[in-house]
Amino acid sequence: MSSRVAKPVSAVPPYLSVAKAYVRSAFSAARLPPGDWVHLDRLERGKRTELMERAQQYGPVFKGFMENRLVVCVLGHDRGRKLLKDHAADLQPVTIQLEGLVPQGFMRQMQGQCHRHYRKNLVQGLTAMDVAAFEPVFETICRQGLAEFARQSGGQPASHPWSDSLSGIASRLLITAFCGARPGDPELEELTIVYSRLGPNGVVWSIGKQQEQAFNALRDLLNALEPAVPENRSVCLLDHLRAAGPVDETLLGNLIYMVELGRYDLRGLLKWISKYAAEHPQWLDRIAAEPAGAPTGSRPLAEAFVLEVLRLDQSERLMRTVLSPIVFEGHYIPKGALLRICMWEAHKDEQAFPEPFAFKPERFLGSEPAASRFSPFGLDHHHCPLADMTIKLAAGFLRVLAHDYRIDASDGSPAVRGPYHWEPPPRFAVQLHARPVSAK
């Protein structure tokens, strides 16, 4: 994880950002948000609740520094959604730059008609997919990956091998769903190996020769894949896109990088799931004993478990670059500033989630929470179109884990801030114990 290449940091000294911000605000009727001129990212690494406490002190819109740039933090889903909607043209998502590989760049940063065109194609392809038809092969991928880890670890606590196993499971799940290759196909292992070259330890933000070569190899492999025969196999996203019309270089490139970013996000989610499964074995027992198919009006236990993990840890923030000056709720937000919509903090609102730091999947067994309370996959038109699939994949992994194993984990230390996300501590190690047949 530590060798993951992070996005470049601005070289502008903080005091220049301060001076520019004050000069610009002087020409506006509004003033900069309240808050100290401190490096919020550094403080947050030492105390995860730092931004929550600052919101209590200064209000739901406050400022500081992040990556040597002025950052304005906004707390509250409704507030964040209004800001993103009212100023959509003034904000740009902070994400990887792919223009050197993909003609129109990454879809998350597209605007206007270009974004609508490619997003429409993607959403139509995802809507056409029958994810349930993939469940048997998804189960096979999870079962094989877990069994291989159990065999290699020999029942001993293992940290890095567990992370590697989860990475392999996440990669194969997404490659199967997006590209169609599955266990037994040589293409699945070939694609998995090439993806490991694209980003060996995480998403590489600074595209280099290695990424270019791996990307070109992935593109060639996908172009060479034969479409599935629907009567024999469930149809993957790539085949649905091809059936709808030509898959140009931009659409194919975005599909490649959706797998690349998704496999690390999914690995992180699976790691958090394993941590909570070890800490709450009674929930693993309940999931193992649950009959197939949830009662009408009730969410499956595994999905409720996944949603609570998303609320507690995996959903963190939305980052935007301010392209034009904004006045929001009486606050001046200058051009060039970073905007952070605080998702993790909003999901700890006691009014929305009593005992907000307690692990209680039963919160999600009933009706779907309102978007004003719970939005783990985004707030605006850049809302992740893979949200439902992600929940299904994670819940499927959890069901296999619960059905086949009991899990122990060492190192109950607090979470740590990794290069991109908060993660279980580096020494978090897992033991899998085969679940007795009588307990299944």
Mean pLDDT, rounded, for 278-298: 85
Inter-residue contact 169 to 145 (CB < 8 Å): yes
At residue 120, what are phi and psi to the nearest 5 degrees?
-60, -45
Inter-residue contact 425 to 411 (CB < 8 Å): yes
92 bridge partner residues: 321
At residue 179, what are phi and psi to the nearest 5 degrees?
-110, -20
**What string of H, E and C letters represents the secondary structure of 95-138?**
CCCCCCCCCCCCHHHCCHHHHHHHHHHHHHHHHHCCHHHHHHHH
Inter-residue contact 93 to 320 (CB < 8 Å): yes
Helices (H), 130-248: 131-153, 160-179, 186-198, 209-224, 237-244
Query: Of the candidates 147, 187, 138, which has an alpha carbon nearest to the alpha carbon of residue 165?
Result: 147
Q: What pLDDT, on a 0 to 100 scale, did the predictor assign at position 298?
A: 77
CA atoms within 13 A on the CB side of 321: 12
Residues in the chain: 440
Q: What pLDDT, on a 0 to 100 scale, did the predictor assign at position 231?
A: 58
Query: What share of residues in the chain are helix, strand, coil (percent, to 5)?
Result: 50, 10, 35
pLDDT in tens, 398-417: 999 999 999 998 877 788 88
How far apart CA 351 and CA 407 sit, in angstroms, is 33
Q: What pLDDT, on a 0 to 100 scale, did the predictor assign at position 6?
A: 41
Query: Of the candidates 7, 62, 10, which has an alpha carbon nearest to the alpha carbon of residue 38?
Result: 62
| 294: pLDDT strictly greater than 60 | no
Inter-residue contact 60 to 75 (CB < 8 Å): yes
71 bridge partner residues: 64, 338
Which residues make Cβ contacts (< 8 Å) with residue 63, sequence separation at least 6?
32, 33, 34, 35, 37, 70, 71, 72, 73
pLDDT in tens, 358-410: 999 999 998 777 888 898 888 866 667 788 899 999 999 999 999 999 999 88
pLDDT in tens, 169-222: 999 999 999 999 999 999 999 999 999 999 888 888 889 999 999 999 999 999
pLDDT in tens, 71-121: 999 999 999 999 999 998 899 988 888 988 999 988 888 888 998 899 899
How far apart CA 149 and CA 155 sit, in angstroms, is 9
10 Å CB burial of residue 202 (0-12, 13-18, 19+) is: buried
Residue 291: count of CB within 10 angstroms of its CB? 6
